Amino acid sequence: MDLPENVYDLRRTKPEHADANDQGKVLYFHPKFGWHSSAWTHPLYSESTHWTYCPSNPPIEQEDPKVLRDKAFEEWLATFEHEFSEPSKALVKLGWLAAWRKRNE
């Protein structure tokens, strides 16, 4: 049977520690349940037949909460279909900021 590159028959080749991602996992294939990640030392399901490399989790970039808050304000303000003057917008934003703090702090 021809297997895709980097897919190994578990009966012939077992994964080693060096094959695991930064969390110590590889991907195993079970005929009924499909692909699942588990420790390189053993699959989650005993009848798994194949394994391959499991990528590490991608880094999650945390946005600055103030940037998120300001973006949410601009999106909310746009729902009014009204052109606010700068002084009016500043007053509305004061109310928005108070409500944001009360909800998120």
Residue 18 is assigned to a structural domain of this protein: yes
The pTM score is: 0.57
13: containing domain:
7-53
Q: Count up the domains in the chain and report the number.
A: 2
Each residue's pLDDT expressed in tens, for the chain with a length of 105 residues: 677 889 999 999 999 999 999 999 999 999 999 999 999 999 989 999 999 999 998 887 777 888 888 888 888 888 887 888 888 888 989 988 888 888 877
- The answer for residues whose C-beta is within 8 angstroms of residue 54's C-beta and 6 or more apart is 20, 21, 25, 26, 27, 37
- pLDDT reported for residue 54: 94
Q: Residue 45 in contact with residue 36, Cβ under 8 Å?
A: yes
Do residue 48 and residue 70 come from a single domain? Answer: no
- pLDDT reported for residue 80: 84
